[in-house]
Amino acid sequence: MGQDNCIFCKIANGEIPARTLYEDEQFRVILDQGPATKGHALILPKAHYRDLFELPEELAGDVMKLAKKMIIKMREKFKCEGFNLVQNNGDLAGQTVFHFHLHLIPRYGADGQKIGWKPQEVTPEELEEVRAQFAD
């Protein structure tokens, strides 16, 4: 199921070396080479799916189960205080490698990182319009 020229296919399937924290039949968890913080890791399915839209539902569930297992162990080992889970879909959303991956980002006091967004002002009417658009 590897896709030619996909770096994460090659890493997940062991053709290109990476710092592996965990591996099983379905997944490899590696250290990000440009970490936001110490221990920043990526869950990679071994099979190629571009993003969450393509990822089969069952595998999506397995990703989150593995994320839970991983952050419990990482918290113990790295002594971090919190975690951000980040998952980008599409280049507009900041995805740069088009093989599904989930970022596990340990957070430490005063780690100097800011992961998030700028909250926008919105009126109750605007919120209602969005809700109605989705419900249509």
Report the interface residues with Zn ion, using CB under 5 A: 3, 6, 8-9, 48, 99
Which residue is associated with the tokens 């205080």? 81
Catalytic residues: 101
Q: Does 14 sit near ligand AMP (CB under 6 A)?
A: no
Residue closer to ligand AMP (CB basis): 10 or 123? 10
User: Which region, judged by CB under 6 A, interacts with ligand AMP, from 27-35, 44-52, 68-76, 114-122?
Assistant: 27-35
Q: Is 23 an interacting residue with respect to ligand AMP (CB under 6 A)? A: no
Q: Which residues pair with 45 in a beta bridge?
A: 27
Region of 47-55, 64-72, 93-101, 112-120 interacting with ligand AMP (CB under 6 A): 93-101
Residue 26 interacts with, from Zn ion, ligand AMP, none (CB under 5-8 Å by kind): none
Residues that bind ligand AMP (CB under 6 A): 7, 18, 30, 32-34, 88, 94-97
